[in-house]
Amino acid sequence: MSTTHLLELKGVHTHIGAYHILHGVDLAVPKGQLTMLLGRNGAGKTTTLRTIMGLWQASQGQITFAGKDITALHTPQIAGLNIAYVPENMGIFADLTVKENLLLAARKASHAGQMDPARLEWIFKLFPAVEKFWNHPAGKLSGGQKQMVAVARAIVEPRDLLIVDEPSKGLAPAIINNMIEAFDQLKKSGVSILLVEQNIHFAKRLGDTVAVMDNGRVVHAGRMADLAADEALQQSLLGLSL
Amino acid sequence: MIARDLDWKPLALVPLLALLVLPLIGSPSTWLTLTVAGLAMGMIIFIIASGLTLVFGLMDVLNFGHGVFIALGAFVATSVLGAMGDWTGSHELWRNLVAVLPAMVVAMLVAGAVGLAFERFIVRPVYGQHLKQILITMGGMIIGEELIKVIWGPQQIPLPLPEGMRGALLVGDAAIEKYRLVAVAVGLLVFGLLAWTLSRTKVGLLIRAGVQDREMVEALGYRIRRLFVGVFVAGSALAGLGGVMWGLYQQNVVPQMGAQVNVLIFIVIIIGGLGSTGGALIGALLVGLMANYTGFLVPKVALFSNIALMVAVLLWRPQGVYPVANR
């Protein structure tokens, strides 16, 4: 494994029931960078993230994280390696308060008072809605506020890798801009991020490296800036222009 | 959670039902006696049902064998209390409580231990397969009943109330049986402990979160199956405790008592919303009250009344009074 790659997938196949979804995915997430995973609907992006997290088992291939083979590990073991995951549906516990949602992710804390106050302050600055609705049931929040809670929960303790599935999905443009600023801050904190996106503006603003998927494979990998500068390539890979 | 977020409508159902039947019963003293009897019965059913609703909520497991823990608890109590005749025969309440308390503790320990084995060998192989769960857990209950017959015999065994818990207190013209007050007190204690655990501890938080989205709990780094085993064992132990309470309520025990109570428990957890302990409490109180009121007013429809109650609640809220989010 390359020492600069925190996460690496080699020839990963995933079957869901009778369906063969991933057909040999090769993907590398460099340490300390934000990697965008792009592709049309049904290309296999979400399946790739779920396979990394062990929510669906890879039927073939290898996944390594920080040099350790995690292909056969169970989800809690993978999460225990300091990997945080925000699913497409955000995975918010609607009946719990915002505080309780964050407390659950703070594995070292048994009650709210044990959460790192400095880190909470930092999170409140990134996502003011989290502080504002601290004692409210998360299910009562708007879509954008829920997304902020979901990302805040993922970073409530320092993580080595943050995996986020379509954070801009269904959000108003103003909220998307807030989210972009928040991820920009997260990048500066040094955490490695793997981000699935359909919003091209989002991808262009944040991505350091990019992988494009189609039909269950990575069909292009490289620097985001290079893809952004090559309209013909964008057209052929994504059917649109950045 | 802040007060304005509380859904109060289901909470109003219990007093509403009680007040609606008052003019039908006529006599306030009879109404009070029936109401306390209904609340006591409801509290015992809640103790039994609380674990089952969490077991379903956490792992989507339909455990039709829950009744065996009820019967087991009750039979263990006959042995423990039978060996403490001097204490149960005393007219002093504290001596009675000293006898009943170890009976409850031993019943919970035995039911919990059997629950651990039940989960490991009967439930675990059929995770995610509802039809198989129904068949194999019912089979487990039948085997459990037969084992009870082997140990204690097939006949009905009396489980008399300790002397100090017999009789009634007079409140005006209403006679309130002492044991029913004990049952309400124990039920409130269990509910209080359960509510505290679920709302104030990390384990409770994990259980509530797991009921809503177990996959996300795993993605946060927690092993949901370990949590489930713990809840299954605790639920079995609570059913054992409920069995002691139910046996003393009926003052006799039979090996089939678990299967008899099973129907009521499932009505309760469906009314409450699968996975909701607060809903289970309201469902249990409604079922207890309805059984007592209809038993007095129209005995012939007593059995049907709780099913009618369930249908009425589901017409109002198809997923129960407190549907669990994300399910």
Domain spans of chain A, in order of start: 1-82+160-242, 92-158
CB contact under 8 A, A104 and B220: yes
Of B202, B222, B324, the CB nearest to A110: B202
Which of B2, B208, B220 faces A96 most closely, judged by CB atoms?
B208
pLDDT at B190: 93
Average pLDDT over residues B145-149: 96
Calpha distance B244→B70 (Å, rounded): 8
Determine the pLDDT at residue A192. Answer: 96
Residue at B142 is within a domain: yes
Q: How does strand A192-196 pair with strand A209-214?
A: unpaired
Q: Is the pLDDT of residue A127 over 60?
A: yes
Check residues B241 and B324 and name the one with the higher pLDDT: B241
Task: Dump pLDDT digits (tens) for B37-87.
Answer: 999 999 999 999 998 998 888 888 899 999 999 999 999 999 999 998 888
**Option in A75, A95, A111 nearest B218 (CB):** A75
Confidence class for position B326, pLDDT limits 50, 70, 90: low
- Confidence band for A3, pLDDT divided at 50, 70 and 90: very low
Side chain identity at residue B55, one-letter code: V
User: What ipTM does this complex have?
Assistant: 0.92
In the chain, the amino acid numbered B138 is M
pLDDT at residue A40 in the model: 87
pLDDT at B59: 81
Whether the per-residue pLDDT at B12 is higher than 90: the answer is yes
Taking the CA atoms of A17, A18, A19 and A23 in sequence, report the sign of the dihedral they define. Answer: positive
Share of chain B above pLDDT 90, in %: 78
State yes or no: pLDDT of A241 exceeds 80: no
Parent domain of B36: 9-316
What total of structural domains would you count in chain B?
1
Q: Which residue of A has its CA nearest to B216?
A: A91
Verify whether the Cβ–Cβ distance A136 to B5 is below 8 Å: yes
User: For residue A135, what pLDDT band results from cuts at 50, 70 and 90?
Assistant: very high
DSSP B125: G
The residue among A58, A147, A157, A59 whose CA lies nearest residue A105 is: A157
For residue B2, being part of any structural domain is answered with no
Q: Which residue has the higher pLDDT, A2 or A179?
A: A179
Please, what is the end-to-end C-alpha distance for chain B in angstroms?
Answer: 20
Helix (H) or strand (E) run with residue B292 in it: helix B277-297
For all residues of chain A together, what is the average pLDDT?
A: 92
**What is each CA distance from B230 to A126, B138, B184, B211, B275, in whole angstroms?**
38, 21, 26, 14, 15
Of B301, B322, B247, B318, give the one whose Cα is nearest residue B10: B322
Could you report the per-residue pLDDT of B210-244, keeping only the tens digit for each? 989 999 999 999 999 899 999 999 999 999 999 99
For residue A222 the two structure tokens come to: 């490289």
Cβ–Cβ of B219/A94 closer than 8 Å? no
Q: How confident is the model at residue B325 (pLDDT cuts 50, 70, 90)?
A: low
Q: Do A93 and B216 touch (CB under 8 A)?
A: yes
Instruction: For residue B212, give the chain A residue with the closest CA.
Output: A93
Residue with tokens 């428990």: B265
pTM of the model: 0.88
> Is A87 in CB contact (< 8 Å) with chain B?
yes
User: pLDDT tens digit string along A67-108?
Assistant: 999 999 999 999 999 999 999 999 999 999 999 999 999 998
Minimum Cα–Cα distance from A88: chain B residue: B216
Contact of B73 with B240, CB cutoff 8 Å: yes
Cα–Cα nearest to B18, from B293, B267, B279: B293
Is residue B324 assigned to a domain? no
Q: DSSP labels for chain A?
A: --TTEEEEEEEEEEEETTEEEEEEEEEEEETTSEEEEEE-TTSSHHHHHHHHTTSS-EEEEEEEETTEE-TT--HHHHHTTTEEEE-TTTT--TTSBHHHHHHHH-TT-SSGGGS-HHHHHHHHHH-HHHHHTTTSBGGGS-HHHHHHHHHHHHTSS--SEEEEE-TTTT--HHHHHHHHHHHHHHHHTT-EEEEE-S-HHHHHHH-SEEEEEETTEEEEEEEHHHHHH-HHHHHHHHSS--
Q: Mention every residue, 6+ apart, whose C-beta is less than 8 A from residue A117.
A: none
Neighbours of B165 (CB within 10 A): 20
**Interval A157-215: pLDDT, tens:** 999 999 999 998 888 888 888 889 889 999 888 899 999 988 878 888 899 999 999 99
Q: Is A75 on the interface with B (CB under 8 A)?
A: yes
Give the CATH number, domain containing residue B201: 1.10.3470
CATH topology of domain A1-82+160-242: Rossmann fold (3.40.50)
Q: Residue A2 pLDDT more than 50?
A: no
| Assigned domain for B78 exists | yes
Three-state DSSP at B169 gives: strand
* Band of residue A63 on the pLDDT scale cut at 50, 70, 90: very high
Question: Average pLDDT, stretch B288-311?
Answer: 92
- Give mean pLDDT, residues B89-99: 88
The pLDDT value recorded for residue B18 is: 96
**pLDDT score of B327 more than 70:** no
Distance between CA atoms of residues B88 and A145, nearest Å:
60
Q: Which residues of A touch B201 (CB under 8 A)?
A: 110
* B191 in a structural domain: yes
> Nearest-CA distance from A95 to chain B in Å?
6
Question: B321 lies in a domain?
Answer: no
Cα separation values, B309 from A78, A233, B44, B129, B260, Å: 46, 64, 19, 29, 18
Residue A118 Cα to chain centre, angstroms: 24
More confident residue, A170 or B206: B206
In a domain? residue B322: no
> Residues of B with CB below 8 A from A85's CB?
219
Residue B83 lies in a domain: yes
pLDDT at A233: 84
Nearest to B266 by CA among B6, B63, B115: B63
A1 band by pLDDT with thresholds 50, 70 and 90? very low
Q: Does A81 touch chain B (CB under 8 A)?
A: no
Interface of A with B in 103-122 (CB under 8 A): 103-105, 107, 109-111
